[in-house]
Amino acid sequence: GFPHRLGPRGSLLLACVLLAAVLSLLFVFGGPVNQGRLGATALAAGLVVGVAWAGLRDRPRLGFRLTIAAAGAIVLLVALSPDALRS
């Protein structure tokens, strides 16, 4: 599939870009900023930076685990942002 064509480094860097884009959209359009949302955003941002670091250092297993953790932190941000789910 597509991840195999990109290779481990490309896949992790693409995941980093996509996670950062989703994180920024949720933070900007997710409602009022409070301590919980700010903490979840900081956690997710740190994990996304970790994904980029793992991709640049050729550590695909660590990068995969950090990608899952960053996605979980983004889900936490959604859970703390009730306005993000309203249409």
Q: How many CA atoms lie within 13 A of 26 on its CB side?
A: 26
Query: What is the pLDDT tens value at each position of the chain, 87 positions in all?
Result: 887 899 999 999 999 999 999 999 988 888 788 898 899 999 999 999 999 999 999 999 999 999 999 999 999 998 887 765 665
- Phi (first) and psi of residue 62, to 5 degrees: -65, -40
What gap in Å lies between CA 25 and CA 20, rounded to an integer? 9
Supply the DSSP symbol for 84: G
Give the 3-state DSSP-derived string for 16-52, with helices as H, strands as E and coil as C.
HHHHHHHHHHHHHHCCCCCHHHHHHHHHHHHHHHHHH
